[in-house]
């Protein structure tokens, strides 16, 4: 006899983050919410149902920074189950190029600032590792 209730599965959640570099400086947001409220992070957020991850990265950067961007390439997938205190959250991180707009904080960002790549503030989550990966691979990639 079949059960009326389907089994419940715990699945990770999917996010995207965007790396945008303008004149040698990386765009970071100051988080306006926990976890990591007040710390700096790459602009990003949760992928919406039916949305491509590439489109999510562009949308999240626009919502949090006011910048219009286009995808240059995928930096990587970050899936360590302990990378985010909210639970198992996987992030697809894209390198983006600036198309237009002026930096302004929006959505849940408390601020948006540009930092020299060699003088980064304290970063939330595993974003220091992500930026380190970007720095170590950018000379070998087309971004």
- What are the residue ranges spanned by the domains of the chain? 20-140
User: CA triplet 72, 131, 101: central angle to 5 degrees?
Assistant: 50
Quote the pLDDT of residue 109: 81
Quote the pLDDT of residue 4: 63
Quote the pLDDT of residue 7: 80
DSSP H stretches of helix in 9-90: 53-65
Using CA atoms, how far apart are residues 127 and 133, in angstroms rounded to an integer?
10
Which DSSP category does 8 fall into? Answer: P
Q: Shortest CA distance to 57 belongs to which of 26, 104, 112, 18?
A: 18
Q: What are phi and psi of 15, to 5 degrees?
A: -130, 170
Domain 20-140 matching CATH 3.90.79.10: the answer reads yes
Residue ranges of the chain with pLDDT lower than 70? 1-4
């Amino acid at each position: 006899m079949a059960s009326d209730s389907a089994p419940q599965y715990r699945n990770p959640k999917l996010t995207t983050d965007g790396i945008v570099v303008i004149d040698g400086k990386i765009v970071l947001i100051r988080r306006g919410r926990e976890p990591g409220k007040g710390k700096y992070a790459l602009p990003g957020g949760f992928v919406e149902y039916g949305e491509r991850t590439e489109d999510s990265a562009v949308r999240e950067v626009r919502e949090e920074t006011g910048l219009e961007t286009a995808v240059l390439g995928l930096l990587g997938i970050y899936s360590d189950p302990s990378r985010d205190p909210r639970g198992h959250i996987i992030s697809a991180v894209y390198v983006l190029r600036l198309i237009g707009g002026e930096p302004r904080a929006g959505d849940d960002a408390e601020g948006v600032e540009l930092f020299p790549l060699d003088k980064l503030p304290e970063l939330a989550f595993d974003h220091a590792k992500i930026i380190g990966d970007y720095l170590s691979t950018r000379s070998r990639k087309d971004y």
